[in-house]
Copies of this chain bind each other. A is one copy, B any other.
Amino acid sequence: MTNPILVEVTRGALVESRHRAAIAVADSDGAEVFAVGEAATPIFPRSAVKALQAVALVETGAADRYDLNDQELALACASHSGEAAHVAGVERMLAKAGLDASALRCGAHWPIAQAAAAALAKTGAPSALHNNCSGKHAGFLCLACASGVDHANYFQPDHPVQRQVRAVLEDFTGAALGEEVCAIDGCSVPTWAVSLSKLAVAFAKFGTGRGLSRERALAAARLRQACANEPWYVAGTGRFCTEIMQRFGARVFVKTGAEGVYCAALPGQGLGIALKCDDGASRAAQALMAALIARFLPLEAADQAALMALKEPVLRNWNGIEIGQLRVTEAI
């Protein structure tokens, strides 16, 4: 595995650290538009495919049955920061299906947002509601309840919910997702390894609906519109996915995943984007995604400047002193 160095981290006049990555950009017919590094090697997309994992929730009618609104659909696609309104939204989703937090099997962790964590520490400790994946899990639980199946083991690979999710992922990616590429995600649901090339095609389909059944294309469009309408619910205050979708609305769908993964759809361009840093670094994956959006989306000057600040961010220390920057090294 010898992907190129795509992001450098400087300190003073020197490069302090380096990140290697692979990238794929494709259209919904499977044509490769741009690629760097080993884009054909399977990688675990982790939370970057949460929106695809939420398609079954919508296309089965479960979302309608429980009257899920845009905030709640965005939460089903989210790695949220555990801020108060995120937690309240997930509780609402569960209540609509007649459940509460005790049904969640994602495990507990402190909110990603430091202010939310500090506020929570004043009165208690985190629950599964604060887990960044709790909205996705609430979506799985809504799907299980609407389907009339026992929801107890909704996170297991052989549960009807995860089988439906896998079938949807196979349809979007065109990949066979067998046991040999299945592992356990941070929140205990299955994650299936797929190549960046196929993930890029999947997100081109997600963004355009092309190559999908009518019901699936409508479900994808509804999820994209929900995230475009309520981008704060997909991540949270100051987060990359939220800020990009606040700025570009339905022109960009973007979602981060653990271990340096990012996926995006540019519906107007008919393109899907998928990338992963070899070392799992979020900081580099984010800079690369900013660079790719800037490359493939027609931009006004203010958008250019905003993306440049995310592509080559200035790094500051605890006193706010500028100590270096991230920079994307290849012509992306």
Contacts and interface: CB of A to CB of B under 8 A. Distances in A.
Given A184-B321, A317-B185, A317-B187, A280 B16 contact: yes
Copies in the complex: 2
A11 B318 contact: no
A230 to B, nearest CB: 25
Contacts of A125: 118
A314 B46 CA distance: 19
Interface stretch (A57-65, A107-115, A302-310): A107-115
A21 to B, nearest CB: 10
Interface in A169-207: 180-188, 191, 193
B319 A188 contact: yes
A224 interface: no
A152 interface: no
B185 A9 contact: no
A102 interface: no
Given A121-B117, A318-B188, A279 B19 contact: yes
A260 B1 contact: no
Interface in A278-316: 278-281, 284
A304 B180 CA distance: 33
A318 B278 contact: no
A47 interface: no
B17 A279 contact: yes
A200 B95 CA distance: 59
A303 to B, nearest CB: 29
Contact of A318 (B106, B114, B117, B180): B106
8 contacts: A13-B183, A14-B42, A14-B183, A17-B277, A121-B121, A131-B318, A188-B317, A281-B281
Interface of A: 1-2, 5, 9, 11-14, 16-20, 42-44, 105-110, 114, 117-119, 121-122, 125, 131, 180-188, 191, 193, 259-260, 277-281, 284, 317-321, 323-324
Given A183-B323, A185-B317, A186-B317, 11 more contacts: A9-B280, A11-B44, A11-B191, A12-B181, A12-B182, A14-B183, A20-B279, A109-B318, A117-B117, A121-B122, A281-B281
